[in-house]
Amino acid sequence: MPAGAALACAIVGPASAATATAPMAVTATVQSACIVAATPLAFGSYDPTSGAPKDGTSVITVTCTSGTSFTVGLNAGGTSGAGLLSFAAAVKAYGRIPAHRYVRAGAYTDTATVTVTY
């Protein structure tokens, strides 16, 4: 430290500080909001000759702000045509391929839409 600065500090007497306080209002508005996530509804291998439906499960998770009411809807997917492997699904994310669905062999994929209304 330079000598001049040290001398200046030594000459200054005790500092007296004053304080003042005031209340400050803090506000926030939380909007109703939800997020939704879903695991794949995977049926695995399906044998149309088995005479039994094929069940599959998924987990739909909805997280909303506290007190937000919501409903969950699920459509049947966006694929259409003669080769459609139809399935029924419930909100519990349970799906079923009906028995005796004689469609072309191969992998079938589709995307169903989960809609949360709040």
According to DSSP H, which parts of 1-118 are helical? 3-11
Predicted confidence pLDDT, tens digits, the chain (118 residues): 555 555 445 556 667 789 988 888 888 888 888 888 888 888 889 888 998 988 888 888 888 888 888 888 877 777 766 565 555 444 566 677 777 777 777 887 788 888 877 7
The domain of 96 spans: 34-117
Instruction: For residue 23, tell me if it sits in a domain.
Output: no
Per-residue buried b or exposed e for 35-72, using 16+ beta carbons within 10 Å of the residue's own CB: eeebeebebeebeeeeeebbebebebebeeeeeeeeeb
Instruction: For residue 78, tell me if it sits in a domain.
Output: yes
Instruction: For residue 41, tell me if it sits in a domain.
Output: yes
List, as one string, the DSSP characters of 63-78: EE-TT---EEEE---S
Q: How many domains does the chain have?
A: 1
Joined tokens for residue 38:
């879903």
